[in-house]
Amino acid sequence: MRADGYLGPDRSGIDWLIDVESPTMQALAPDVRSRTPDSPVDVDALIEDVDLLHRLLRERHAFVVLGRTGPEAADAVLDAWAERLRAERPATWGEAIGDVVQALREALGDNHHGILGNAAPRPLRPTLGDDPGPAWESAVRTTPSGDVATVRIRTLSDSPEGSPQLEAGATDRTVLGHDRVVVDMRGNGGGNDAYISRWIADAVVHAHDAPSERCLSVGDKPVMVWNAVALEALRHPGSPPPASLVPHLHTPAPGDELRVELSTEHVPVGARPFQGRMLVLVDGGTGSSGESSTLILRDSLGARVVGVPSMGLLESANVAPYVLPRSGLTLTFPTQWVATPEPMEFVGIQPDVELDVTTPLAEVADRFDELWAAADHAS
């Protein structure tokens, strides 16, 4: 039996697709839009939804569906959570969630999982800290040893303001004409690494096979896109769906079947291979597509990585949101498993040479030759 608020079998052959127009989701939408850790919680409704999570994780968590992780440890976390809720009767979402997010991440081996209203942030390694500015900006710094091109990529997430900046950056090949380039990915929590792949497509130096990916799909479309668009509609009624998602959105039909799509890609040498040297800066806030973008630059252009270990959100990907029907519990599970060549989840990318994450980008450019030599020696 399908949960309230999700498309029925008359509209979709697969379960767990949010029905934005349903009375259930419309009633929950105001709370979903405004929820914070201090928002009041309906404990009894939440207990019902926690019980529903046992089924959801078996049917939609990529690691469980694909057999990478068994559900038993997560079941124990959910049982303990429900028991605590009955005993403590918390008043707010932050109190109700407590440390469950981290416990579920560890139980599932999935560092991407999250819950809306969570008061406990992911434990972070050292980060650059607050650094407002455009999503993507490039510059050329003149140093005593010559020019160094710098590219600051703060996010790869689409937004009305950021998407045009990312699009402009991804089509600007002039940076790759420099002999020395620094790409600053510090604090980049992810988004869409296709911007990076497009940016360097003609400049690939080393042909290689990208990590294989197994994705829960409907036809040739990733299943996560429907719920991602639906949640945006609940949170921002009347706004158009994110442009980057629209081409990947499937149209539900009663005959749909959930399938696992295996994606493998051979990356060939580009038409105009990069002739220079590149450093990529990472910190404990570099995660998800920020990390995969770093690997793309490393594997394709021979870039060296400088900084501290990244966040470790690489094997779980394409997170889909779910809004559960009693309390409005809103959480994410990955729908994709990326087979990285070495363990990356919770581990992160290990830099070729460590560097204080607060080092200004201009100083990194000035020290390019020194840092390159140290990183090149270490790698």
Q: Look up the domain containing 28 and give its range.
A: 23-123+319-334
3-state secondary structure of 183: strand
Q: Is the pLDDT of residue 270 over 70?
A: yes
Same domain, 153 and 199: yes
Same domain, 55 and 152: no
Same domain, 63 and 206: no
Same domain, 146 and 105: no
Q: Any idea what the Cα angle at residue 332 is, between residues 101 and 64, rounded to 5°?
A: 85
CA 90 → CA 38, 86, 182, 192, 331, distances in Å?
11, 9, 48, 37, 19
Closest by CA position to 286, among listed 124, 167, 164: 124
- At 210, which CATH number? 3.90.226.10
- The arithmetic mean of pLDDT across residues 179-194, rounded, is 95
Same domain, 174 and 283: yes
104 Cβ contact list (under 8 Å, min separation 6): 74, 77, 78, 110, 113
Is 249 within the bounds of a domain? Answer: no
Same domain, 286 and 364: yes
Render pLDDT for 306-361 as a digit per residue (tens, 0 to 9).
999 999 999 999 999 999 999 999 999 999 999 988 889 999 999 999 999 999 99
Render pLDDT for 55-89 as a digit per residue (tens, 0 to 9).
999 999 999 999 999 999 999 999 999 999 999 99
Q: How much is the pLDDT for 123?
A: 61
Average pLDDT in the chain: 95
Same domain, 265 and 323: no
For residues 278 and 300, give the distance between their C-alpha atoms in angstroms, rounded to a whole number: 11
Same domain, 107 and 209: no
Q: Is the pLDDT of residue 378 over 70?
A: yes
Tally of structural domains, the chain = 2
Between 240 and 199, the higher pLDDT residue: 199
For residues 252 and 218, give the distance between their C-alpha atoms in angstroms, rounded to a whole number: 9
For residues 311 and 175, give the distance between their C-alpha atoms in angstroms, rounded to a whole number: 27
Q: Is the pLDDT of residue 104 over 80?
A: yes
Q: Please, which pLDDT band fits residue 278 given cuts at 50, 70 and 90?
A: very high
Is 299 within the bounds of a domain? Answer: yes
Is 52 within the bounds of a domain? Answer: yes
Same domain, 186 and 67: no
Is 290 within the bounds of a domain? Answer: yes
**What is the DSSP code string of 306-371?**
EES------SEEEEEEEE-TTT--EEEEEEEEE--SS--TTT-PPPSEE--TT--HHHHHHTHHHH
Same domain, 214 and 303: yes
Same domain, 330 and 374: no
Is 274 within the bounds of a domain? Answer: yes
For residues 134 and 137, give the distance between their C-alpha atoms in angstroms, rounded to a whole number: 6
Same domain, 58 and 145: no
Q: Is the pLDDT of residue 223 over 70?
A: yes
Is 15 within the bounds of a domain? Answer: no
- At 79, which CATH number? 3.30.750
Is 240 within the bounds of a domain? Answer: no
Is 77 within the bounds of a domain? Answer: yes
Residue 307 backbone dihedrals phi, psi, to 5 degrees: 135, -130
**DSSP assignment, residue 6?**
B
pTM above 0.75, yes or no: yes
For residue 3, give both structure tokens.
Answer: 């949960």
- The arithmetic mean of pLDDT across residues 90-112, rounded, is 95
